[in-house]
A = this chain, B = another copy of it.
Amino acid sequence: MADKLTDAARAMIDAPNFATMATVQPDGRPQLSVVWLKTDGDDLVVSTLKGRRKHKNILADPRVSVLVYPKEDPYRYVEVRGTATLEDEGGAELIQELSHRYDGVPHEEGDPANVRVLVRITPDRIVSHS
């Protein structure tokens, strides 16, 4: 199973707009958080920290979903259901790129012990609403 981003979905994701990401808790409940994201080829990439709830959940169950909409039009949204993989390489660069895109400033890591991880989401199914 695989699905491709449309040009409209790609533009919405790279705008950049904030997204909500769902992972699966150990007991099967959904867990949500707000994320920065961008496209990388046919995938989406998101930054997180080692040890965060999201990171632990993905290690146990890589099935995630991401919903994004244009800030000015929440009625037009895209849900990307996909499979997440965790990559150490590129984690530090990604958070800087996203911080520049979303906030226009470099990211400052609050705790020097933080380890940044890149979450790569390969779409299995894309649902568009308008």
State the A residues within 8 Å of B (CB). 18, 20, 22-24, 28-34, 61, 63-67, 69, 71, 74-75, 77, 79, 81, 129
Contacts A30-B64, A32-B65 known; 6 new A-B pairs at CB < 8 A:
A28-B28, A29-B63, A29-B81, A30-B30, A31-B65, A34-B129
Q: Is the CB of B81 within 8 A of A20?
A: no
Q: Is the CB of B20 within 8 A of A28?
A: no
User: Which residue on chain B has the smallest CB distance to residue A125?
Assistant: B29
Given known contacts A34-B77, A69-B34, is B28 in contact with A24 (CB within 8 Å)?
yes
Smallest CB-CB A-B distances: 4 pairs: A22-B30, A20-B20, A32-B67, A30-B30
Min CB distance, A101 to chain B, in Å? 14
A29 CA to B102 CA, complexed, in Å: 28
Q: Is the CB of B79 within 8 A of A32?
A: yes
Min CB distance, A60 to chain B, in Å? 12
A61 CA to B27 CA, complexed, in Å: 12
Most buried by B among A24, A33, A64, A74: A74
What would be 23 A-B contacts, judged by CB atoms less than 8 Å apart?
A20-B32, A20-B67, A22-B22, A22-B65, A24-B28, A28-B28, A28-B63, A29-B65, A30-B30, A30-B65, A30-B81, A31-B65, A31-B79, A32-B65, A32-B66, A32-B67, A33-B79, A34-B67, A34-B74, A34-B75, A34-B77, A34-B129, A71-B71
